[in-house]
Each structure stands twice: as structure tokens, then as C-alpha cells.
Amino acid sequence: MGNFQEKVTFIWDLADLLRGTYKRNEYQKVILPFTILKRFDSVLNYSKQDIINAYNIYKDKFENLEHLLTQAAKDKNGNELGFYNYSEFDFPGLLEDPEQIEENLMHYLDCFSSNVQDIFENFHIKDHIARLSKADLLYLLIKKFSESKIDLHPDKVSNHEMGTIFEELIRKFSEQSNEEAGEHFTPRDVVELMTKLMFVENGLTLKENGLIRLIYDPACGTGGMLTSCQEYIKEINNSIDVVLYGQEINQEIYAICKADMLIKGENSENIKGPSSTLSDDQLPHEKFHYMISNPPYGRKWEQDKELVLKEAEKGFNGRFGAGTPRINDGQLLFLEHMLSKMKTDEKSRIAVITNGSPLFTGDAGSGESNIRKWIIEEDYLEAIIGLPEQLFYNTGIRTYIWILTNKKPEERIGKIQLIDASTNFKKMRKSLGNKRNYLEKEDIEHILDLYKAFDLNDYSKIFDNEEFGYIKVVVERPLQLNYEVNEERLENLYSVNVFAKLSQSKSKDPTIKIKEEEAGKHKQREILEALKNVKGIYTNWDKFESEVNDVLGSFNFSAAVLKNMIMALSKHDDTSDYVTDGKGKKKPDGKLRDTEKIPLKEDIEEYFKREVLKYYSDAWIDTKKDKVGYEINFTQHFYKYEPPRPLEEIEGDIKKITAEIQDLIQEDLDES
């Protein structure tokens, strides 16, 4: 079975054994850990006897055998595996004693090194072993996993192929149980593009010997992005020491990632979890050369809220100094987190994928806008690439790759490149979930060429940083009212809180309550009758206020209450006098208040004269309310106007279709 898809199919079909004992959405809880267990068993095969010998020699001499047993566990090339199992059992050996298979398998698991035990604890594998044994399925499952058709020995299945098998199994299980497969891994074509974009302009010499490069993914899933980056660097210079770091929140996916890293000979202790990166950063002091990630889209961060807000209080001494977005989407929090992990004395680069929300959601002064403002004003953002739709397993929406760095090349300083790659894709012959399109090699190379050329054309736009910023100004227009006491406006008084409450009672005693309410209604009638003594229409606040004071003076209303009552008796009137304060300054009309977004690169006064004063000569800007905002309206910059079809052409089509319908109807009539 040389083809990995055949292996996937065989493993997938093992789920048939579980029918009845397990629900469909539980199959992966058994199949995935047993696949990993089988892989560990196969990888350890070469040095199995050496490990057992070392254990038997030293078990009574030393309390801690971790180091000695790790040294004994090697592959056929003499490289240490980083894990071991000193049990006499392996998969074939377990089958030799069917009656004791549960007890022997538990012992086998206990003989693994602690790093492997951590993996299986996150799978809760012992609970499933007991459940399988009770259903008389444990022996059958081990027997199936021992067949030659599923030989997972490293000689037959490379580490890269094994990682692909894990991903495909997760995708199939997730699709079957309607879970989000795309939360756990990103399609390989997208990962390849992100990796190449991150390294295409790295500014770091990767040809030197003795280099160490640290790579990090804060939402690492099964680790595919980390592996892609490592492979890319190794192709350039195999002598570079590439150290991978990641954190994952999902227990089972964390376990798969850690197992995959361990099998590949990486330091699995650098894979942290299972916990949320946002509220529980398990690599608080690490800084990285490269960071790559596909954090969850539109995921609420409510469960992280308390600790995230506490971290935000630290300002830029923490990870969220620029602000926090609204609670229903944490993508920008991941961006801030990654930027906080950049090297301070070396160049760092970031490739992260998001949906459209982080580009434009949030008005000036909001958390989202403030985060974009910080990113752009600090000149971290190098490029954004708009991808085609339907590239991902769990969503068909458009997505965007952000490229960020703390040290831009000279020609890109103060600039941001937008690339529209929405038409660069090929259709898949068979869709995988929502993934109906994919990026072929030529599509990836075309996008890279657009990035490297850094030119203006239909698919690549270059902007100054300031072009994404604007000042949101509050435009006020003066308050102009006429005033009249009539039946319609008197009804408005019931919306004035103090007036309305006159006829209300807080007493719980029914008798007192009725008495107080009747007294209040009587007072309301007295007020209304008094106001009716004010005759005519007024266009000046002060004159009307004087009249109202004269008729209502005996009621001892405060100035604030009288103001609210006058407003209830008023109506907007462009011909009336301006309402002014005690200093003669025009008061604004809240109902006419408006806002304008003025580009940062534009003169505010010139814009205001052209766009506002031209229409409202008495308007003004309340400068105390100015707010700076940033948004990246990606689609707008690539919009192409397509004129509507000529009416004659549309009319011709309608006549043609109508004629066809009539012909069909006539055919039916003739046949009947």
C-alpha cells in the first residue's frame, strides 16, 4: 500500500468495528489515538530490544532511568528518538494473550516515556481501552491495527506522509460529525503560499552556517504550518537549527501535534497546551524569528475575557497594549499576541490568515480600529493578499493573508501593498467539504511574482500607510426651533420624565396608590391648563421661556425640567432664531448631528468647506470629539465598474425566452 489515501481509507474503515458501542461523532476518539499508538510502536521497533535490555540492567541501580532509556531508543541511523517504551509487549505480542489484553495494554502504555504518556492522557485512551474491552472489541481493534495493510513503520511511511494521514483522518471525521475541520489544520496549498510569502523577502541570510531560527504558531493545530516552514528553511540550508514552537487549545489536536513532532525528532516540549493562547500564554518569555498561523475566525473570546483584559491593563508591557476588539471575534488579539513575540534586536516576520472582519470592522476609536492604527502607524504591516473563495474545508468565504515585520526593506518603509489574488485558483475535480478551489504551483508563483515586483497594476496596489487612516469628525448644526402650545405638542409632555411620573405611585398599598395617582393626574391637568395661556407661535427660545416661566412659576419646576418641557413644545424650524447658551454661543441640534470621515492626507478645513459648508453654511466641527481611525477596505481598491447591459439587449433576451416558452406550451397542447 504505497498510496497514503489507501492507508487513510483502511484506517477509516476500522470505525465499522465501533458501530453500536460508539456514536459516529466519537469514532475519532478511538481511531486517532490508536493510529498514533501504532505509529509509536512501529517507530520503536528498531531499538525495542536495546531499550528492554537497558531497563533490565539499570532498573535496580537508578531511580530515574529517563536519560538512559532515551539514549537507548534510536532509529536505524543511530539518531535518538526522544521517547521510549520498555515494556516487553508490542502490537503482535499483545495479541498472543487475548484474555489479558486489557491489562497488558495498560501496562504497555505505562511503560512509555512521560512525554508520550502526556499525549495519550489528552486522548483519555485508558477510558476507551476499558470501554472497548467491555464490548469485546479491544482484541479485534489491536488485531486490525496489526495487519500488514496498515504497516506504519518509518521505512514504509515517512514522517511527512504520516502527518498527511493524520490531517486527512481529522478532516474526514470532522466532516462526518459536522465539526469544524478547518479549525485544526489549513490546506497544504494555502500553507505553501503563506510560507513562501513569509520567506520571499526575509532580509536574513539563510546561507550561513551555525544559524538558529525559531518558528512559532500560536494556534498550531496539527503542526502543518510549522513543518512547512522548517522544510522550506532546510531546503535552503540544511545546517540551520530550526526550532519549532506552538500552542493548541483542543486536547486531541494538541496530542496529535505533539505526537507528530515527537516522531519527527523535534522537541515536543515546545508544543504547549491544551489551553488558550490568549489567556494562557505558555511561552511568555520567548521571541521568534518567524511566526505563522491560521487563528479561528469569528470565535468569541468570552472565556478568555477576564485574563485578556487584565493583560491589556499592562499596556505595551503586555500583549494587548493597542486595545481589545469586540467580544465576538478574537482574530486581532492573535495578531497583537504575535507582534508582541517579535525579536527586539533581530528581524521577525509574520504570516497570518484572517477573514475580512479584522480589515474594516469597528469605527474610529473602537478596539479594532485602534489595533489597526497601532499596527499601521508602527509600520508593521507589509502586505495583505486577498485569496479566492472556497479554499478552506470549513468555510467558503474570502480570506486574507497578512504579512507583517518589524524591519521592512527600504523600498517598503511607510508603504502597504494590497494584492488581489481572488482569481488565481483552479477548480477541484471533487470538493472536500467547502473546499472547491485550490492553488496550483503556477497560482502560487504568480502571487509571489506580484509581491516581489512591488508594482502598481490591476492586481497589485501600493499605498502610503496614511491612506488607510481617517479622522472622524462630528459635524454640528445649530439648534433652531419654533415653539407653540397646542394639543399635539402638549401630548409630547408625557415623554418628559418628571411630568410623566406625576401620575405614578410607588406605594404598595392599593388605596394610597390610587389616591396618589389621582392627585398626580390632577396636577398634570393643572399644568396643561396653565400652559394653554401661552398663545401664538414663537421663534425665540428666551421669549417663549419667559412666557412659560410666568404661567408655571407656582409649580416650582427646576430649570432643567422647564428646559425639557420647552423642548417637548418645540419643533425644528430653519427660519427661527438660533438657540444660544449663556455666552451667546450657538447650541447644537442633536437630531441634525452628523459625522464625516476625512482622510488623514486631506486638509480638514478644505474638505469641510467643499463637502459640508457648501450645503450647510452655519455648520461647524466639534474638534473635541475628533477620533483617528484606520480601516482597510480591500474590495473598494480593486472595484471595477461594469456598466449595465443595454435595455435593447435585455429586451431582446426577454422576447427570445418568451418565444421559447410559448413554443414549449404549444408543443404540450399539440401532444395533448
The answer to whether residues 654 and 561 belong to one domain is no
Which among 469, 299, 233 has a CA at the least distance from the CA of 373?
A: 469
pLDDT at 182: 44
Q: Tell me the C-alpha distance between 504 and 523, whole Å.
A: 12
202 in the same domain as 145: no
Cell 504591516 belongs to residue: 381
Using the predicted structure, report yes or no on whether residue 73 has a pLDDT greater than 70.
yes
- The three grid cell numbers given for residue 45, joined into one nine-digit string: 521497533
Among candidate residues 430, 449, 471, the one where a domain is terminated: 471
Nearest to 83 by CA among 263, 247, 242: 263
- Better pLDDT: 551 or 158: 551
Domain assignment present for 592: no
Q: What is the mean pLDDT of residues 33-51?
A: 92
DSSP per residue, 588-635:
B-GGG-EEEEEETTS-HHHHHIIIIITT-TT-EE-GGG-EEEE---HH
Are both 495 and 535 inside the same structural domain?
Answer: yes
Q: Which of 516, 543, 572 is the endpoint of a domain?
A: 572
Q: Is residue 115 domain-resident?
A: yes
Model confidence at 136: pLDDT above 90: yes
Higher pLDDT: 649 or 528? It is 528
Give the total number of structural domains in the chain.
4
pLDDT tens string 436-477: 888 999 999 999 999 999 999 999 999 999 999 999 999 999
Please tell me the least confidently modeled range out of 123-127, 128-132, 224-228, 296-300.
296-300
One domain for residues 14 and 110:
yes
Q: How far apart are CA 627 and CA 473, in angstroms?
A: 7
Average pLDDT (76-101) is: 92
pLDDT band at 97 (very low <50, low <70, confident <90, very high): very high
Considering only 178-192, 321-335, 587-601, which range has the smallest mean pLDDT? 178-192
Q: What is the pLDDT of residue 1?
A: 42
Q: Same domain for 164 and 308?
A: no
Asked if residue 82 lies in contact with residue 40, where contact means CB atoms within 8 angstroms, the answer is no
Residues 291 and 406 both lie in one domain: yes
Q: Decide if pLDDT at 586 tops 80.
A: yes
Residue 304 lies in a domain: yes
- pLDDT tens, residue by residue, 232-282: 998 888 889 999 999 999 998 899 899 989 988 899 999 999 999 999 999
Whether 292 and 334 have beta carbons less than 8 Å apart is answered as no
Residue 620, pLDDT > 50, answer yes
β-pairing verdict for 212-217 and 241-247: parallel
Specify the pLDDT at position 25: 81
379 and 282 co-located in one domain: yes
Is the pLDDT assigned to residue 395 strictly greater than 90? Answer: no
pLDDT digits 0-9 by tens, 225-237? 999 999 999 888 8
Q: Give the CB-side neighbour count of residue 55, counting CA atoms within 13 A.
A: 18
25 and 123 part of one domain: yes
Query: Is 127 found in the same domain as 60?
Result: yes
Q: H helices of 403-474, where?
A: 441-453
Residue 628 lies in a domain: no
Over range 337-366, report the average pLDDT: 94
CA 200 to chain CA mean position, Å: 25
Share of the chain above pLDDT 90, in %: 68
3-state secondary structure of 488: helix
Pairing assessment for the beta strands 594-599 and 469-476 based on DSSP bridges: antiparallel
Tell me the helices (H) and strands (E) count for the chain, helix number first. 26, 18
Residues 245/286, Cβ–Cβ less than 8 Å: yes
Q: Within a domain: residue 258?
A: yes
What is the span of the domain harbouring residue 518? 478-572
Determine the pLDDT at residue 209.
81
Q: Is the pLDDT of residue 185 over 70?
A: no
Give the domain-ending residue among 572, 597, 619. 572
- How far is it, in rounded angstroms, from Cα 217 to Cα 142? 35
Range in 271-285, 349-363, 424-438 the model is least confident about: 424-438
Whether residue 607 is contained in a domain is answered as no
Please write the tens of the pLDDT for every residue from 284-316. Answer: 999 999 999 999 888 899 999 999 999 999 999
DSSP codes of every residue in 24-62: GGGHHHHHHHHHHHHHHHHHGGGGHHHHHHHHHHHTTT-
pLDDT at site 204 = 54
The DSSP result for 255-293, as a single string, is: HHHHHHHHHTT--GGGEE-SS-TTT--S-TT--BSEEEE
Q: How confident is the model at residue 181 (pLDDT cuts 50, 70, 90)?
A: very low
SS3 content of the chain, % helix, strand, coil (to 5): 50, 15, 35
Spatial distance between the Cα atoms of 532 and 548, rounded to a whole number of angstroms: 10
**Paired sense of beta strands 469-476 and 620-621, if any:** antiparallel
- Report the run of H or E that residue 228 belongs to, with start and end: helix 224-236
Q: How confident is the model at residue 176 (pLDDT cuts 50, 70, 90)?
A: low
Residue 608 domain-assigned (yes or no): no
Give dist(CA 406, CA 348) in Å, integer: 6
CATH of the domain at 286: 3.40.50.150
Please write the tens of the pLDDT for every residue from 489-516.
Answer: 999 999 999 999 999 988 899 999 999 9
Per-residue HEC secondary structure of 77-124 comes to CCCECCCCECCCCCHHHHHCCHHHHHHHHHHHHHCECHHHHHHHHHHC
CB count within 10 Å of CB 459 equals 18
* 40 contact partners, CB below 8 Å, separation of at least 6: 83, 85, 112, 116, 259, 263
The answer to whether residues 171 and 87 belong to one domain is yes
What's the chain's Rg over C-alpha atoms? 35
User: Which residues are bridge partners to 22 per DSSP?
Assistant: 19
Q: At 112, which CATH number?
A: 1.20.1260
Is 540 inside any structural domain? Answer: yes
Cis, bond preceding 218 (omega within 30 deg of 0): no
User: Are 164 and 214 within one domain?
Assistant: no
Q: How does residue 659 score in pLDDT terms, banded at 50, 70 and 90?
A: confident
pLDDT for the residue numbered 340: 97
Which of the four pLDDT bands, split at 50, 70 and 90, describes residue 654? confident
CA angle 164, 168, 170 (to 5 degrees): 120
Cβ proximity of 349 and 289 under 8 Å: yes
Q: What is the pLDDT of residue 179?
A: 52
Do 440 and 296 lie in one domain? The reply is yes
Query: Residue 430 CA to chain centroid, in angstroms?
Result: 27
